Amino acid sequence: MTTNTLDTFLKQTPGNDDTERLQRLHAASMLAMCEAAYATINSTTAPVPLYRIAYDDTAQHISFEMLEGHALVPQPGSLDVSVLDLLLAAQFRDKLPSLFEGKTGTGKTFTTEHFLDAILENENYRVLRLSQNMTNVLQPYVEGYVENGVVKVRLKTDELDKIAALFIDEVNRGDSNSVLMLQDGTVTLSSGERGMVGVKIPEYKESENKEGEKVGAWVEQRKRPLLVISAQNPASTTDPKYTATRRTDAAQLNRNLQIDMPNAAHGMGGSLLVYENGGNRHSQFLETYRALLQKHLGIQDACSELPAEWIGIYAFTTDPVKTERPLMRSALEFCDVLTFLMHPSLQKAYDSELQVLNAWNGVLNNPHGRNYQASFTTAATLSDRAEPILKIGEVVNSFGEDFIPRDIIRVKKLADEIAFLRTMKQSLKSPNPLEHYLQIKKSITAVDVASASAVVLHDKIDVDGKDPSGVVSAVLKEYADIVTTFGTRMDYTNADNPLTPGARRCAFDLDDGSLSVYMLALRKSIKETCDLGTAVAGQYTTHLVRYLADKAQTLNGMMGGMEYRKPIVVRMMTDLATLAGFLNEHESEVEAMFTNPSLPSTVAQRKHVENGIKEMYERERHLAADIYRMRLPRVLGI
């Protein structure tokens, strides 16, 4: 794979050093690719509208609409997501296959083929249309040959490195194990021959020459995972054309981002007749990309070899590592509390949490053993007849099946795509897209998780007229109030106070990596323990557990009779008690963390203890009790 064009781009890109120039080049290339895709594909087809997401950060209110193929009047601050948006975002994620399910003619195949035809050269993608007579999804990668009169099969090694994307139409006619292999990035034959699928990623590496000077060169050490897009008609259809189809198995559902394709015919109407279907879409795309990249970087025409070297530039631009974004701790906590509230019997789940909480309280306050004198208790009872709990029940009872682990995985995948689309679209709409993208915070926030959850919950509903978005928004608002109130009581500030000039306050900042109940509780407890100094040497664990119990009681005092809040708070109290139980089991190691004489300051000591607790759990994870492995990852964020 030649990299002359990338090298020329890099040399012309402004920046103080190669690291900064690479960052700017990648961001500019990503923005140019996305905008060029919109310009090219939106001139030949009308991608189906799927969702609208809007968030009011003042009221902590999220509104979500399933568009069902109908386009709405633009609304400032909202994010409209179409089929094309999800296809674009999937390119930049790590092994995120997309599965479109819908009736024949709704645009599953049409939109996907237009997308691939614009983004890639014909030799770099494959389209497989499965049928009763052709079910081999590995066809692009294998070939038959005769050896000693015996027909054998081997891999086409050149195809393994050449194909960047694969579209499988009517995927539920094919062998699911073969599809899984492709989605996981490998092909393994019965002979044992194995190969990785995907295109090689050019990476710029610096080294020193004999004179001690830094020199850079492009190398190919990793592969960009194969983009797998699938489509199928609903397996439950009575149409005789699809009698060979079947339901997608659970393993594929765990990997796929499944999107139900609505019928947008009534919205498009006659407009569909005047879209341009001719011309070379890939050439149009490259010309638009070329112009946009030069505009973003402010460089001269340096793209003479662009068509011949496009697949390398594509792999460089869509490298998932370069657009990886962290999951905010508040997003993790919100996902957990929402999942908890979706239990088919919330009263039963609440009682179970209380049982675990009381059990921990007994372990940590054992009059005949270790007695921390730390109260992890609550007298709160849940009224399952209260209006907020009834509203949750109405949504949960409308599900065709319970909210299961597969749904949590799907929420994470969709939230990741929404986060990417949010930052990318905001940047494209700004006066200076490149500078905006480089400066904007890039993370998966609680709003991204809430939006994804609304989609997943909506797809689970079997009862007409039930809309889960109101419940999702109410839970987000409740969580935001809990974490900011708790943060205030932990003396945590992250924003100016508009009511008191010069003062600070705790605000629900979606991109604040420290804003989470568990993190604030642990850090405050560690600080209070450190502040006691050497006078309590040998009793650090005792005081740390007691301070965690104080934080649990702080949460307990925040319930205030609000039914939405009770199950959330009890869940958090039980998780803090579980952390205390883990520290109790490893008391000697915890004591050692507080008595490191080489630490230069109290701040360094606090960080040492926090990291030490996380490292201790990671070391013990494989042998830890189930309750630790179920709860501590969300408490510690690891």
* pLDDT over 80 at 553, yes or no: yes
Question: pTM score, two decimals?
Answer: 0.89
List pLDDT tens digits, range 238-287: 444 444 444 555 566 667 788 888 887 777 777 776 676 667 899 999 99
pLDDT score, position 616: 95
For CA atoms 14, 16, 21, 23, the dihedral sign is: negative
Do the Cβ atoms of 205 and 3 come closer than 8 Å?
A: no
List pLDDT tens digits, range 590-610: 999 998 777 667 888 999 999
Contacts of 416 (CB under 8 A, 6+ apart): 93, 96, 325, 444, 448
pLDDT score, position 404: 86
Task: Output the average pLDDT for the chain.
Answer: 88
Which comes out higher in pLDDT, residue 276 or 576?
576
pLDDT score, position 637: 94
Per-residue pLDDT, averaged over 471-495, amounts to 93
Per-residue pLDDT, averaged over 75-96, amounts to 90
Residue 595 gets which letter from DSSP?
A: T
Per-residue pLDDT, averaged over 434-447, amounts to 94
Per-residue pLDDT, averaged over 312-318, amounts to 95
Of all residues in the chain, what percent carry a pLDDT higher than 70? 94
pLDDT score, position 244: 44
Which comes out higher in pLDDT, residue 96 or 441?
441
* pLDDT over 90 at 77, yes or no: no
pLDDT score, position 243: 45
pLDDT score, position 176: 84
Region of 194 (left: φ > 0; alpha: ψ -120 to 50; beta: rest) is beta
pLDDT score, position 242: 44
Least confident of 29-43, 203-217, 352-366: 203-217
Do the Cβ atoms of 581 and 360 come closer than 8 Å?
A: yes
Which comes out higher in pLDDT, residue 238 or 440?
440
The closest alpha carbon to 609, from 521, 522, 492, belongs to: 522
Of all residues in the chain, what percent carry a pLDDT higher than 90? 55
* pLDDT over 50 at 519, yes or no: yes
Torsion angle of alpha carbons 271, 50, 38, 96, nearest 10°?
A: -140
Least confident of 21-30, 103-112, 118-127, 478-487: 103-112
pLDDT score, position 271: 73
Give the pLDDT band of residue 142 (cuts 50, 70, 90): very high
* pLDDT over 90 at 334, yes or no: yes
The closest alpha carbon to 87, from 78, 97, 102, belongs to: 97
* pLDDT over 50 at 213, yes or no: yes
Q: What is the Cα–Cα distance from 19 to 22, expressed in whole angstroms?
A: 5
In whole angstroms, how large is the CA radius of gyration of the chain? Answer: 27
Helix %, strand %, coil % of the chain (to 5): 55, 15, 30
Name the helix (H) or strand (E) containing 38. Answer: helix 18-41
pLDDT score, position 110: 86
Per-residue pLDDT, averaged over 566-594, amounts to 95
| CA 329 remoteness from chain centre | 13
Token pair 């999951």: residue: 327
Name the helix (H) or strand (E) containing 385. Answer: none
Which comes out higher in pLDDT, residue 600 or 210?
210
pLDDT score, position 565: 92
Do the Cβ atoms of 549 and 370 come closer than 8 Å?
A: no
pLDDT score, position 238: 45
Per-residue pLDDT, averaged over 195-211, amounts to 88
pLDDT score, position 465: 65
Helix axes 18-41, 281-297, angle to 10 degrees: 140
Which comes out higher in pLDDT, residue 220 or 551?
551
* pLDDT over 90 at 228, yes or no: yes
* pLDDT over 90 at 35, yes or no: yes
pLDDT score, position 248: 57
Q: Which long-range contacts (CB under 8 A, 24 or more apart) does 213-220 make?
A: 216/18, 218/3, 218/6, 218/7, 220/1
